[in-house]
Structure 1
Amino acid sequence: MFNWGDAFGFEHYFAHLLAKLILIVYGISLVLILFYSILQLSLAVKYKNSKSEVKKALPTFDPENTPYVTVQLPMYNEYYVAERVIERVAQMDYPLDKLEIQVLDDSTDETVDVIARKVKEVREKYGVDIKHIHRTNRVGYKAGALDSALPDAKGEFVAIFDVDFLPDVDFLQKTMPQFRDPKVGVVQTRWGHINKDYSLLTELQAFGLNGHFAIEQGGRSAAGHFINFNGTGGVWRIKCIEEAGGWEHDTLTEDLDLSYRAQIKGWKFSYLEDVIAPAELPITMSALKGQQHRWMKGGAECFIKMNKRILTAKNVRPSDKIHGLSHLFNSSVFVFILVMSLLSLPVLHIKDSFEDLNYFIQFGSIFIMSTLFLMFYYWNSYRDKTEDKPKSLLQFGKRFFQFLTISMGLSLSNAVAVIEGYMGIKSSFVRTPKFNVGAKEEGKVENKYDKKSISLITIGEGILFLVFGFTAINRLAFGDLGMVPFHLMLAIGYGSVFFYSIAEVRPALFSFVPKFSTRTSNVNA
């Protein structure tokens, strides 16, 4: 591959130059992944240390003096789950004379009638002040719905729940006392998982989300860095929303955008890890990829929008700026993983062709160091530990490498989303289909909103599965084992994502793909 380009009296001069350029880009990707893992490690250490600190007693709920709260439930064509969340929120244990519910309905199908009937039913059943607000357009999507209804809210505070959430009835009792501190603008809670044990796919999502809600949110909160409202499962002080400039819909992650604008203004965010807001995880690969696309692209859009404001903010500590920028830049790690993965193929040929460059290739061990840092990160957020520590470590190791492998398999799809975000390519807000899996039986899980198709990205994932699989087998056969584990993980990751994506579109072609199980889940996990 590199036996060409003789020039200036040097054999393979231009091939050697190209090899150096490839190794430089490869090395930069490795270093950026290491930098990401070091920051995650620092948050894990801070989180771990905070657990040994004496916690301050939380303020208690006072029903006589608690403020007026408006609960907003944004939804769009949620035929399967709309009634479930309305019923649950209507049962909240909070003074009825201080509670209002706004069902923000942008639906264009029969969901409108379903919501109207349910709103009338719970109003009569529980005596709660609940309104059905139906928009005939989707201007601004979710952010637009929240923003348009806010002027009519009776409350000083607004709690927001996506339609797949089932908050405990005492949710407001646990969160509202935090607002006795007039500087607190947001209270965010930890997501639980209604259907964690539904399948391996949901178990891996829960594993990753637990890392975010323990280490990222908990670690940043403990260190006093910026955290973010996660779009749902939290409460805003309306004055905070207004002073930060209100909901804007120029990014796909309006929650992340508003969170940073509010904290730059000096508002404090309170994170309650022990208060859980259970939610449904996506159960199909198409739904997961759609959700990941929105989160990754939205993160990149927020980085472009907010990086200068963070850097020039006068009242923000340097450490907060570093962690804030890295937080918004986090989704870019998938671009670095994709670049590193693709360049690892010519790097093998460079190793075979140029002995004088082999010293540089040895720095690939940086990836092992990054992996160890991330293992520490996820071990401290792992919620399936038992008293049998050796068994817990083995189970964790298995789950961690499963998670890492599938994350690698999603790197093409996620990297494309990030690049679109940086390039300013706009797309509509595509909400994640909900299935109400608690009411379904195996073999009968259907959702007309879960649009499945074989995209160019899916085809690309299939090609990468073949390329990395062939490379791993070829190198294994010739005894060159250095990158075999890495390429095997990539092959398995891309293969899993590809085959499940195809199986959802053409199930008859892949009857060998394991069916999802439907076990009862621990929502606190």
Structure 2
Amino acid sequence: MMFLITLCVLVYAGAMLFILLYSLAQAHLLYRFRRYLRQDKKPVPPAPEVWPMVTVQLPVYNEKYVVERLLETVAALDYPTEKLEIQVLDDSDDETSALIEQKLQQYPQLSFKYIRRPDRSGYKAGALKYGLELAKGKFIAIFDADFVPAPSFLKETIPYFANRKTGMVQTRWTHLNRDYSILTKLQALALDAHFYVEQVGRNSLHAFINFNGTAGVWRKATILDAGNWQYDTLTEDLDLSYRAQLRGWDFTYLPDVASPAELPPVMSALKSQQFRWTKGGAESAVKHLATVLRSGVPLQAKYHALAHLLNSSVYVAVLLASLASVPLVWAQVNGLLPYVVFEVGKWMLLSFVVISLVYFQANALQTNSLVGRVLSFIVYYPLFLSVSMGLALHNALAVLEGWSGRKSAFIRTPKFNLEARQHPWQKNMYLSLKVPFTTYLEGLLGLLFLGVAAWSIARGEYAFLLLHMMLATGYLLVFYHSFQSYRKA
């Protein structure tokens, strides 16, 4: 019995230590971001005397709800038409293709190139690589189907390539449907922390940052020099980013250039996105961690690369710590565990304070009112943290698949464009009909932690009560919203 209890202590301590070390990296990024806010903004480079040739790539696969909006938006880009090529990389096998061909007839004055591959090998990365071989542009701008870039996008980004070492320029995502629901508000909170604190902090440190898959511009020579698009991971953007920076190319992040996009409005769509991001992150870690650690980049950059590539692994740590905490409560109630273990564990919880500050900072940028900032954070952050914990099983399984090398298809995130549609999201034809088995496990875990919390109250043991209540809330919410978000036949 004591062996099992000791094992649970070691698992819990190891998981919490991993989270603490990750949070220290976050604390450093927060410090660097605060410094950025206090500094004078760097001057915007002047426009080039002659605008270079740019190819805009639009990878599309079954996007009937948003593709027309995408084409309208890109057609409105303010850039010399003779220097602009727009590739519509269409892999669709539904009515999206007909919609595209019909829409393109409205823009005879623009250089739209409608491109269909013989097959969909390599998914998005394969489409981008195929288009790159045909691209005339010296620079390659990429937009996913749900993005709505401003007309000034190219004129705001291309001047930064005056520095010949600059290989990629990334802009900040904003959210078309931030206020659609509680779920979209929570996603916005998470993404804002990445696009403000993390990306700005890493870029200011000259550490590795990543192209976010869309709303960015590449120097074509950088892509080719780094080995072109590859599709051995689900995050081809993160993979190419590390290969390019390891080759010595600089990346520039522009937090003041906003690129609006759609947030997944339902849990099943969010989960498909989360699975791809977390598994792909783990695959990229397997692919690049050893190379980064052996490289000649500064130690500080290596530490942040370690935290960056392993950030999806936090879900594994959360899952292990939460499961290990259940027998630890039983051991404490029965006097089998010295209380000093819990005292040490409390210091580990400092990591959550640090991470809370990161999200508070991102949330604070959305309003000028101090009272509004605090109230918004008090309302949404505990719920965000609970739902994040409730996604731990789903995302941890994705990470474990990535670590193990198990391959899976690139599953696109369904798009909705709810603001422009007259029918409800339940009718979206891209939603899955089948409820995954893991959804039922999430419901069982929610009941487990709710039962443990009730038992702890009955026994007067409160060491893990808050954690277990948040876990119960998170898993039950994820279960409920997952179950009701799958399309009914």
Tell me which interval the TM-score lies in, with the shorter structure as reference length: over 0.9
Tell me the alpha carbon deviations over residues 60-118 of structure 1, each in whole angstroms, 9 at most, x when there is no partner. Answer: 324x4111100000010111111110111011000011000000000111211111111
CA distance in structure 2 between the aligned counterparts of 1:290 and 1:166, rounded to whole angstroms: 22
CA distance in structure 2 between the aligned counterparts of 1:151 and 1:507, rounded to whole angstroms: 42
CA distance in structure 1 between the aligned counterparts of 2:206 and 2:80, rounded to whole angstroms: 33
CA distance in structure 2 between the aligned counterparts of 1:233 and 1:118, rounded to whole angstroms: 22
Partner of 2:88: 103
Are the structure 2 counterparts of residues 367 and 403 from structure 1 closer, same or farther at C-alpha, using a change threshold of 3 Å?
A: farther
The residue type equivalent to 1:48 in the other structure is R
Where 2:148 maps in the other structure, the secondary structure is coil
CA distance in structure 2 between the aligned counterparts of 1:214 and 1:385, rounded to whole angstroms: 11
Partner of 2:328: 347
Tell me the alpha carbon deviations over residues 280-329 of structure 1, each in whole angstroms, 9 at most, x when there is no partner. Answer: 01011100001000000000000000112111223x11211111122011
Asked if structure 2 preserves the Cα contact closer than 8 Å seen for 1:351 and 1:361, the reply is no
CA distance in structure 2 between the aligned counterparts of 1:301 and 1:184, rounded to whole angstroms: 26
Larger radius of gyration: 1
Task: Give the unaligned 5+ runs of structure 2.
Answer: none
Where 2:141 maps in the other structure, the secondary structure is strand
* TM superposition score normalised by structure 1: 0.91
Residue range with higher mean Cα deviation, 318-327 or 382-391 = 382-391
Asked if structure 1 preserves the Cα contact closer than 8 Å seen for 2:329 and 2:456, the reply is no
Asked if structure 1 preserves the Cα contact closer than 8 Å seen for 2:56 and 2:87, the reply is yes
Q: 1:284 aligns with which of 257, 260, 266?
A: 266
The residue type equivalent to 2:376 in the other structure is Q
Residue range with higher mean Cα deviation, 497-506 or 21-30 = 497-506
Asked if structure 2 preserves the Cα contact closer than 8 Å seen for 1:144 and 1:247, the reply is yes
* Regions of 4+ moved over 6 Å: none
CA distance in structure 2 between the aligned counterparts of 1:391 and 1:25, rounded to whole angstroms: 40
Q: How far 1:421 sits from its partner (Å)?
A: 0.3
Q: 1:49 aligns with which of 22, 29, 35?
A: 35
Residue range with higher mean Cα deviation, 354-363 or 415-424 = 354-363
Partner of 2:315: 334
Q: How far 1:219 sits from its partner (Å)?
A: 0.5
Residue 76 in structure 1 maps to residue 58 in structure 2: no
Partner of 1:412: 393
Partner of 2:413: 432
Asked if structure 1 preserves the Cα contact closer than 8 Å seen for 2:329 and 2:461, the reply is no
Asked if structure 2 preserves the Cα contact closer than 8 Å seen for 1:214 and 1:273, the reply is yes
The residue type equivalent to 2:102 in the other structure is R
Asked if structure 1 preserves the Cα contact closer than 8 Å seen for 2:449 and 2:469, the reply is yes
Q: 1:487 aligns with which of 468, 474, 484?
A: 468
The residue type equivalent to 1:66 in the other structure is W
Identical-pair percentage: 46
Task: Give the unaligned 5+ runs of structure 1.
Answer: 1-14, 509-525
Q: How far 1:373 sits from its partner (Å)?
A: 0.4
Partner of 1:274: 256
CA distance in structure 2 between the aligned counterparts of 1:308 and 1:343, rounded to whole angstroms: 30
CA distance in structure 1 between the aligned counterparts of 2:15 and 2:267, rounded to whole angstroms: 27
Tell me the alpha carbon deviations over residues 209-244 of structure 1, each in whole angstroms, 9 at most, x when there is no partner. Answer: 000000110100111111000000000000000110
* TM superposition score normalised by structure 2: 0.97
CA distance in structure 2 between the aligned counterparts of 1:319 and 1:369, rounded to whole angstroms: 22
CA RMSD, Structure 1 to Structure 2 (Å)? 1.6
Are the structure 2 counterparts of residues 225 and 79 from structure 1 closer, same or farther at C-alpha, using a change threshold of 3 Å?
A: same
Asked if structure 2 preserves the Cα contact closer than 8 Å seen for 1:74 and 1:142, the reply is yes
Q: How far 1:350 sits from its partner (Å)?
A: 1.6
**What is the number of residues matched between the two proteins?**
489
Partner of 2:208: 226
CA distance in structure 1 between the aligned counterparts of 2:232 and 2:434, rounded to whole angstroms: 27
Partner of 1:250: 232
Asked if structure 2 preserves the Cα contact closer than 8 Å seen for 1:435 and 1:446, the reply is no
CA distance in structure 1 between the aligned counterparts of 2:258 and 2:366, rounded to whole angstroms: 19
Partner of 1:66: 51
CA distance in structure 1 between the aligned counterparts of 2:369 and 2:218, rounded to whole angstroms: 41
CA distance in structure 1 between the aligned counterparts of 2:269 and 2:30, rounded to whole angstroms: 29
Partner of 1:503: 484
CA distance in structure 1 between the aligned counterparts of 2:65 and 2:487, rounded to whole angstroms: 24
Alignment of 1:453-464 (within 5 A): 453-464=434-445
